[in-house]
Amino acid sequence: MPTFDFTFTIRAPLAAVAALHRDTHALQRLTPPPIRVRIHQVEPLAEESISDFTLWFGCLPIHWTARHSKVDPEHGFTDTQIRGPMKRWVHTHTFAEAGSGITSITEHIEYEHYNDARGILSRLLFTPIGLRLTFWFRRFAMQRLLRQGKVRL
């Protein structure tokens, strides 16, 4: 089964990075253009909480529902797709202090494509290069949001 790993640091305290990820609008704020996010339901981050949204790739809507687990309010969580384009998608976000005012973020994704027409689409939309670009953007967006003070602790 394919995996994707991406680790980066942010010049911000661990508490601020964790707070940004608990924000119910975080997905919208951290998704790179040209992808748009339409939120249908996002429960506050907690064990078994649900996020239901549509990712718009231009005029192509991809509906996605995820359940959160292994929630540690300061150190990360896992979101598992329960409905969406992939046969399997388990995304673990881990936050750790990496020095004074610096936080390390590790993104680990285990995924599997369907072996039918849905798999063709997911292979086109969720490539390793596309995931890497997504997380480069997220690193930039997080740093900008945290520097501008747009996160409530």
Q: Is the model's pLDDT at 152 over the cut of 80?
A: no
Ordered by where they begin, the domains of the chain are 3-24+69-147 (3.30.530.20)
What is the three-state SS of 75-123? CEEEEEEEECCCCEEEEEEEEEECCCCCEEEEEEEEEECCCCHHHHHHH
**Peptide linkage before 44 cis (omega within 30 of 0):** no
> What pLDDT is stored for residue 150 in this prediction?
66
153 — pLDDT class (breaks 50, 70, 90): low
pTM for this one?
A: 0.94
pLDDT digits (tens, 9 = 90+) for 27-60: 999 999 999 999 999 999 999 999 999 999 999 9
